[in-house]
Amino acid sequence: MRARLFLWVAGLAALGLAVPAAAQKDATLALTPPMGWNSWNHYGCNIDEKLIKATADALVSSGLRDAGYTYVNLDDCWHGARDAAGNIQPDPVRFPSGMKALGDYLHQRGLKFGIYSDAGATTCAGRPGSQGHEFQDAAQYARWGVDYVKYDWCATGTGPAQRNPREAYATMSRAIAASGRPMVLSICEWGENQPWLWGKDVGHLWRTTGDIINCWDCTIDHGSWQSSGILPILDRQVAIRGHSGPGGWNDPDMMEVGNLASDRENRSHFALWAMLSAPLIIGTDVPGMSGQVRDILANPRIIAIGQDALGISAYPWIRTPGFEIWAKPLADGAWAIALLNRGDEPQRYTLKWTDYELKDDLKGRRADFARETYTIENSWDGEPTGTTATPLEVQVEPHDTLVFRLAPVTG
C-alpha cells in the first residue's frame, strides 16, 4: 500500500501536479484582490518607521483605508542582521522601536502589516534572505503581527543549481501555516516559472512579469531581466487571464498611479489594473499625493470593478490601431467596459452596441445587444449615460481611459 501511494505521489510529481503544501495555504484570504500600499515603487531602500507611520496616517486621513487599502507593506531594506540565535531583526537605526511596535501601530489604525523577504540567501538589495530560515522567519513575523509576506526570488542560484521555485514557495507556505498566524503569501518570481500554473496551491498572488516602472509604454533591458511600463505589462496579461481568480491572482505588479507623467496615465493605469482584477497596491508618496491622485485611487466604482466577486480578468474586445475596448464580466449579469487610447492623438469613437456581442468564451458569459438592453453608467463620475439601445459617442484623450458599467435592464 505504502509503495503504491509512493508511486502515485511520484507519478503526480513527475506530472508536476503534486505540491505537498496544497492543504497548508489559508484559503480564506484574498478572495478578492488584495488592496494596500507598498514602499518599493516610490521609496526603494529608503524606508524607516517614521515614513511607514506617516503613510499609515495618510491612508487613514485621506479615506484610502476606508476605500479598502488596508495592507501596509514594507518592501526590501527593513532588515538588520540575524541575532545570535538566527532570528531576523529589523535595521536598528531605521526601525528603532522594533517591528512588533510597528505592527501594533498599524493594527490600532485598522490597517494590516506586510513584510518582504526572499527565497534566496539574500534579498535583491543584499539583505538577509530566508533560505534555510523559513520556519524561524515565519515564526518571527507571527510574533510581530505580520499579515502579508511578499517573497522574492533573488540569489536563488542559476542554471541547474537554482532552487526549485515550487519547492521554495511551498516551504515558505508551510512555514507560515506552522506559525499559526494567517498571512497572505505574495509570490514574486517575476513570472519566470509560469507561477500561474502552480502558485494557487501555495500562495495568494503571483507576479506575472518583471518589475514595473513609471512609464506608459517603455521596456528597459537590464541584461538578465527587463522592467516595463504600463502597456507592455498590460499586454502580457491576456494569454494568462484564465488562471486568475478568487484566492489566487495574477499580479502585474504594484501600481505606479501617482508616479506617471499625467493624470490621464494615472487614471488609465488604475482602471486597467481594476479591469484585470489585479491586486491594487499603491506605490506612491501617500502623504504628498495630489488631490487628483487621491480621487483616482479612491474611486468607489472603479474599485468595485476590481473587487467584483467573480474575479474575472478583462479581455480585449475591440481592437483598432492605438485604441482598444476591454470587457470584464461582473456579478449580477453586469459588465465593465474600458475604452483605452494608447496613442498620442485624441480618439473619437462611436460604439454602435447593436452591431456587437460581448462574448467571454473562457467563462461562458455573453451579452447580445441586439436582443438585450443594458443601462450605461460612467464609472469615473457615476453619471447615467443612456442605454445600449443607442450608440455611445465618445472622445478619449491621449493615454486616457473611459470606463462604463453596463447593467441588464430587467422586467
256 is an interface residue for ligand GLA by CB under 6 A: no
Stretch that binds ligand GLA, among 121-129, 256-264, 342-350, 399-407 (CB under 6 A): 121-129
The string of DSSP letters for 181-230 reads S--EEEE-STTTT-GGGTHHHH-SEEE-SS-B-S-SS-EEE-SS-EEE-H
| Residues in Cβ contact with 284 at an 8 Å cutoff, skipping those fewer than 6 apart | 41, 42, 255, 256, 257, 258, 259, 293
Q: Could you tell me which residues are beta bridge partners of residue 280? A: 35
C-alpha cell recorded at residue 69? 487599502
211 is an interface residue for ligand GLA by CB under 6 A: yes
Q: How far apart are CA 325 and CA 331, in angstroms?
A: 20
125 is an interface residue for ligand GLA by CB under 6 A: yes
Residue 189 CB, nearest distance to ligand GLA (Å)?
Answer: 9
Using an 8 Å Cβ cutoff, are 340 and 326 in contact?
yes
251 is an interface residue for ligand GLA by CB under 6 A: no
75 is an interface residue for ligand GLA by CB under 6 A: yes
| Residues in Cβ contact with 205 at an 8 Å cutoff, skipping those fewer than 6 apart | 30, 33, 34, 184, 186, 187, 199, 248, 249, 250, 251, 279
189 is an interface residue for ligand GLA by CB under 6 A: no
Q: How far is CA 180 from CA 142, 244, 381, in A?
A: 7, 27, 44
Residue of minimal CB distance from ligand GLA? 124
Amino acid at 109: R
φ/ψ of residue 224, rounded to 5:
-85, -10
Residue whose CB is less far from ligand GLA, 148 or 190: 190
71 is an interface residue for ligand GLA by CB under 6 A: no
Q: How far apart are CA 243 and CA 167, in angstroms?
A: 20
Residue 76 CB, nearest distance to ligand GLA (Å)?
Answer: 4
Catalytic site positions = 152, 211
Q: How far apart are CA 233 and CA 38, in angstroms?
A: 19
Residue 156 CB, nearest distance to ligand GLA (Å)?
Answer: 12
Applying CB under 6 A, among 176, 188, 234, 305 the residue interacting with ligand GLA is: 188
Residue whose CB is less far from ligand GLA, 24 or 73: 73
Residue whose CB is less far from ligand GLA, 117 or 268: 117
Amino acid at 382: G
The H-assigned helical ranges of 276-404 are 291-298, 300-306
Residue whose CB is less far from ligand GLA, 77 or 296: 77
Q: How many residues bind ligand GLA (CB under 6 A)?
A: 10
Residue 407 CB, nearest distance to ligand GLA (Å)?
Answer: 37
Single out the residue of 153, 164, 145, 58 nearest to residue 104, CA to CA.
145
Site for ligand GLA in 33-52 (CB under 6 A): 40
Stretch that binds ligand GLA, among 63-71, 122-130, 238-246, 266-274 (CB under 6 A): 122-130
Applying CB under 6 A, among 76, 201, 308, 400 the residue interacting with ligand GLA is: 76
Residue whose CB is less far from ligand GLA, 43 or 317: 43
124 is an interface residue for ligand GLA by CB under 6 A: yes
Q: How far is CA 52 from CA 17, 73, 74, 107, 283, in A?
A: 40, 9, 8, 13, 13
144 is an interface residue for ligand GLA by CB under 6 A: no
Stretch that binds ligand GLA, among 14-22, 118-126, 343-351, 354-362 (CB under 6 A): 118-126
Residues lying near ligand GLA in the complex (CB under 6 A): 40, 75-76, 123-125, 152, 188, 190, 211
